[in-house]
């Protein structure tokens, strides 16, 4: 079986960029413990070249324990702390395990969603499925608790999934592709005709997390018809736990209205987990808003940012997954094994 190593390497580089200075190494090992790809952290210029060799020697006994102790060969996700390191293990499909080695002062919780997203991408790369190597930026929620540091203890990470479904709303000007995104996500189909009837369609979709025994259930509210109906909009936006604010990268005015949408959504649902999406990136020739501009406004509004095409399907699943990860970050719990 041939694995796209270039893609694995590209993904690891994105991962290093998003995790930042606490990363000592990121290693993909197969089930026999063989290193398939590895990258050392940025801050380690001092450390000798053999850091990966050293780290994988450190990781090996823990891997053995993990496969033994976590039931039925599938261990999901866990952490292990040593005197000098904090290590996160994520199962990455049936073939690989993704190992993140952090320094001892690192917080695990904010990094965990990145590790999890990366592991899913690795699983898909091993499967030969199409996947973008980009690891999007997730905003940090400073209210979340850190997984306690327990040296020499294997801790299994679990998600306390809420039993109910989260209301998800979409914001952004008419015609930016909100309905198309939802249909892509829900049915994986692309609507070619544009219907702007008034009303709301409601769709349900679960976002699964392999190896975590956990799901985020979304009830997606899609308001047909447009923004002129201020009164409808208030009740549409209220009590929403999740939201996607969309603009069209080929229409500047939709980008310029992001601030207003953000303000309105936040005023109606202050606790919402929200992400920003630049859609229609397939329209390369017509593009007028750059990636940098998108990232800039996202940073200013403290939102995660991702670029998509509802037409080709690019990054649509990742956008919803990112949102789901943002929600589950609040429910991370551990169990000693």
**Residues at the site binding Mg ion, with contacts judged by CB under 5 A:** 178-179
Q: Which residue is nearest to ligand GDP (CB)?
A: 177
> Which residues have CB under 8 Å from 283's CB, separation 6+?
249, 250
Q: Which residue is nearest to Mg ion (CB)?
A: 179
The single residue among 154, 310, 319, 328 that binds ligand GDP, judged by CB under 6 A, is 310
Assess 175 for contact with ligand GDP (CB under 6 A). yes
140's contact among ligand GDP, Mg ion, none, with CB below 5 to 8 A by partner kind, is none
- List the beta strands (DSSP E) in the chain: 23-30, 35-40, 77-81, 85-92, 96-103, 154-159, 166-171, 199-209, 214-224, 242-248, 273-279, 304-307, 332-336
Instruction: With beta carbons less than 8 A apart as the criterion, state whether 336 and 167 touch.
Output: no
Complex with Mg ion: residue 137 or 233, whichever CB lies closer: 233
x/- track of binding to ligand GDP for residues 270-299 (CB under 6 A): ---------xx-xx----------------
Assess 179 for contact with ligand GDP (CB under 6 A). yes
Complex with Mg ion: residue 22 or 179, whichever CB lies closer: 179
3-class DSSP state of 218: strand
CA distance 75 to 89: 9
Backbone torsions φ then ψ of 259, nearest 5 degrees: -55, -45
Q: Which stretch binds ligand GDP (CB under 6 A): 67-75, 169-177, 234-242, 262-270?
A: 169-177
Give min distance, CB of 169 to Mg ion, in A: 12
Give min distance, CB of 72 to ligand GDP, in A: 41
Complex with ligand GDP: residue 246 or 268, whichever CB lies closer: 246
Complex with Mg ion: residue 129 or 195, whichever CB lies closer: 195
* Partners of 98 in beta bridges: 28, 90
Complex with ligand GDP: residue 272 or 310, whichever CB lies closer: 310
3-class DSSP state of 217: strand
> Which residues have CB under 8 Å from 37's CB, separation 6+?
5, 8, 9, 12, 27, 28
Give the β-pairing of 154-159 and 166-171. Answer: unpaired
According to CB under 6 A, which residues from 17 to 46 bind ligand GDP? none
Complex with ligand GDP: residue 262 or 280, whichever CB lies closer: 280
CA distance 314 to 10: 17
Assess 197 for contact with ligand GDP (CB under 6 A). no
Give the tokens for residue 106.
């690192």
- Residues near ligand GDP (CB under 6 A): 174-180, 192, 194, 279-280, 282-283, 309-311
């Amino acid at each position: 079986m041939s694995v796209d190593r270039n893609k694995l390497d590209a993904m690891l580089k994105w991962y290093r960029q998003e995790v930042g200075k606490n990363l000592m190494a990121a290693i993909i090992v197969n089930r026999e413990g063989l290193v398939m790809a590895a990258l050392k952290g940025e801050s380690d210029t001092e450390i000798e070249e053999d850091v990966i060799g050293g780290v994988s020697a450190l990781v090996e006994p823990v891997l053995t324990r993990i496969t033994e102790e976590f039931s039925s060969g599938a261990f999901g996700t866990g952490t292990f702390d040593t005197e000098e390191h904090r290590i996160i293990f994520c199962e990455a499909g049936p073939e690989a395990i993704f190992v993140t080695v952090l320094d001892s002062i690192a917080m695990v919780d904010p990094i965990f969603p990145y590790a999890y997203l990366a592991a899913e991408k690795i699983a898909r790369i091993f499967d030969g499925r199409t996947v973008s190597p980009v690891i999007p930026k997730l905003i940090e929620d400073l209210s979340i608790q850190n997984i306690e540091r327990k040296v020499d203890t294997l801790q299994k990470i679990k998600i306390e999934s809420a039993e109910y479904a989260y209301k998800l709303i979409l914001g952004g000007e008419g015609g930016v592709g909100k309905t198309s995104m939802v249909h892509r996500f829900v049915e994986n189909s692309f609507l070619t005709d544009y219907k702007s009837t008034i009303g709301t369609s409601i769709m349900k979709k679960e976002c699964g997390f392999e190896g975590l025994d956990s799901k985020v259930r979304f009830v997606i509210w899609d308001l047909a018809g447009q923004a002129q109906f201020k009164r409808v909009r208030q009740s549409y936006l209220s009590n929403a736990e999740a939201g996607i604010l969309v603009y069209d990268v080929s229409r500047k005015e939709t980008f310029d209205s992001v601030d207003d949408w953000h303000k309105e959504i936040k005023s109606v649902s202050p606790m919402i987990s929200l992400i920003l999406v630049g859609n229609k990136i397939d329209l390369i020739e017509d593009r007028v808003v750059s990636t940098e501009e998108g990232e800039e406004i996202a940073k200013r509004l403290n939102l995660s940012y991702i670029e998509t095409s509802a037409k080709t399907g690019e990054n649509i699943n990742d956008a919803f997954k990112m949102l789901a990860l943002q929600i589950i970050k609040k429910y991370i719990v551990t169990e000693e094994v």
